[in-house]
Structure 1
Amino acid sequence: MNSIVATLVSGILLGSLYALMASGLSVVWTTLGVFNFAHGALMMIGAYAAWTVSEGMGLGLLPGILAGVATAALCGIVIEYLLIRPFYGTRHMLLVTVMTTLAALIILEKGAQLIWGAKLKQLPRLVTGDVSIFGATISWHEAIIILLAPIVLLLLWRFTAMTNRGRSLRAVGQNQDAAALIGIDVPYAFAIAFGLAAALAGLTGALLGSIRFITPVMGSEPLVKAMIVVIFGGLGSLGATAGAAYVIGLLEAFLILWIGLYWTPFALFLLMIAVLIFRPNGLFGRA
């Protein structure tokens, strides 16, 4: 029973991190209709920026997290302006943006290695100590992540559904020409979507940097998991992405328990292929 509870808690923690990561991908896809392969690298940049302010400058973890979010958001806006905006409306925009965001991924990873070096780094935890949940022991830092993720997702949903700026992002995602006709600045909406998604990636990196070591390639694995989440849940729906993130997190935790760490990625990719074959719009998506 203790192992089952521990696995449940671990799955919820994984789902919380995946939800924060994948929701940014969902925002970009919903608004621009492209997949940002540099999203994991933006998470890494957020972690390194948080470490620089927190440990390098000695200003503390909370200012470090804010710096990580802001730095990642700024990098996201720059990527959109330099590598994606010039190709809006072109015939092969989707293919071109795949190549440009992959180029951004390589540039950010190599740049991080030049700036911060290859030495492993780690952030301190928000709160020290452990907490017991039905016999399963986790750190207070991990418990805060579990509580924080739904709050951030709720705020993101409130922004996209109940504010004029958020509704303008949805309008641009549905029909760019119609949105422009009613006075919405479409390029500005694209920049906001990219900056918001990058900020979520930076927040994820800053939180994850207290659990795992910070390296230039730390965003690669979370990016793959986030891609599985958005495909599993259904592209274009924030609620479906959040629900799928927790399902994948719990499934991954139990797969590690049942079949081991080595075979779990294989099982997750097999599940993604099955969803693409039988439910191309995702389990929670609509045609």
Structure 2
Amino acid sequence: MDTLLATLVSGLVLGSLYALMASGLSLVWTTLGVFNFAHGALMMVGAFIAWTVSEAVGAGPVAGVVAGTLGAGLIGIVIERLVIRPFYASRNMLLVTAMTTLAVTIILERGAQMIWGPRLKQLPPLVDGEIRLFGNAISAHEALLLVAAPVILIALWRFTVSSKIGRSLRAVGQNQDSAALIGVDVPTAFALAFAISAALAGLTGALLGSIRFITPAMGSEPLTKAMIVVIFGGLGSLGSTAGAAYLIGFIEAFLVLWVGLYWTPFALFLLMILVLLLRPNGIFGKR
């Protein structure tokens, strides 16, 4: 029973991280219709900015998380303006933007290597101490993550369905021409969606930097897991993405328990292939 509860808690933590990461990917896809392969690198940059502000400057972990979130958001705006917007009218937009965002990933990783060096870094936790959840001890930082992730996702969902700006993003995602005819500034909506997505990536990186070491390549694995989450959930709604994120978190936690850490990625990719074959629109996606 203790092992089962510990696995459930681990799944909740993983699901919270994946939900924050994948929601940004889903937002960009539903608004712009492109897949941002630089999302993991933006997470890494957010973690490094948070470390710089928190440790090198000495402003503390809270200021570091805020700086990492805002910094990644600003970099996201620059990426959208320089390497994605010029190709909106291209017939091969999906392929071109995939290539350009992959190039941005390499640039950001090499840039981080030059700026921060190869030495491993780690952020202090936002909250010290431990708490007990279902009889299992977890760090207070992880407990904060369990609470913060649903709150952030609910706030993002309310923003997209209740605010005028959020509804304009949804309108652009449904039909760009019609949105432009009713007065929506489509390029600005694209930039805003990309900025929110990048900010979520930076926030995830800043939070993850207290759990794992910060390296220039730290975004690769979370990006892969976020891709699996988006495929499982189906592209179309934040609710589907969040549900799939927690599902993948639990599946991964139990796979690590049953088949081991080495075979878990193989099993996850096998499940992803099965979902693509049997449910191309995702488990929660509509036909």
Residue equivalent to 1:140: 140
Deviation, 1:237, is 1.4
Q: How far apart, in 1, do the equivalents of 2:196 and 2:203 lie?
A: 11
Residue equivalent to 2:189: 189
Q: How far apart, in 2, do the equivalents of 1:123 and 1:238 lie?
A: 29
- Secondary structure at 2:59's aligned position in 1? coil
Query: What's the CA shift string for 1:221-268, capped at 9, x where partnerless?
Result: 000000000000001211000000000000000000001000100000
1:20 partner amino acid: L
- Secondary structure at 2:137's aligned position in 1? strand
What is the root-mean-square deviation in Å for CA atoms of aligned residues? 0.5
Residue equivalent to 1:15: 15
- Tell me, yes or no, if structure 1 residue 98 matches structure 2 residue 98: yes
1:277 partner amino acid: L
Residue equivalent to 1:73: 73
- Tell me, yes or no, if structure 1 residue 59 matches structure 2 residue 53: no
Q: How far apart, in 1, do the equivalents of 2:140 and 2:65 lie?
A: 17
Q: Percent identity?
A: 72
Moved over 4 A (4+): none
Residue equivalent to 1:128: 128
1:261 partner amino acid: L
Q: How far apart, in 2, do the equivalents of 1:176 and 1:120 lie?
A: 44
Q: How far apart, in 2, do the equivalents of 1:211 and 1:19 lie?
A: 16
Instruction: Describe how 1:130-209 pairs up with structure 2 within 5 A.
Output: 130-209=130-209
Residue equivalent to 1:282: 282
Q: How far apart, in 2, do the equivalents of 1:177 and 1:115 lie?
A: 42
Residue equivalent to 1:215: 215
- Secondary structure at 1:64's aligned position in 2? helix
Q: How far apart, in 1, do the equivalents of 2:286 and 2:277 lie?
A: 15
Unaligned runs of 5+ in 2: none
Q: How far apart, in 2, do the equivalents of 1:133 and 1:50 lie?
A: 28
Q: How far apart, in 2, do the equivalents of 1:220 and 1:118 lie?
A: 16
Q: How far apart, in 1, do the equivalents of 2:78 and 2:172 lie?
A: 20
Deviation, 1:128, is 1.1
Say how many residue pairs are matched.
287
Deviation, 1:133, is 1.4
2:146 partner amino acid: I
Instruction: Normalising by structure 1, report the TM-score.
Output: 0.99
2:203 partner amino acid: L
Deviation, 1:134, is 2.1
Deviation, 1:57, is 0.2
- Secondary structure at 1:138's aligned position in 2? strand
1:215 partner amino acid: T
Residue equivalent to 1:233: 233
Unaligned runs of 5+ in 1: none
Residue equivalent to 1:264: 264
Query: What's the CA shift string for 1:156-194, capped at 9, x where partnerless?
Result: 000000000000000000000000111100000000000
Deviation, 1:111, is 0.3
Instruction: Normalising by structure 2, report the TM-score.
Output: 0.99
- Secondary structure at 2:132's aligned position in 1? strand
- Tell me, yes or no, if structure 1 residue 3 matches structure 2 residue 3: yes
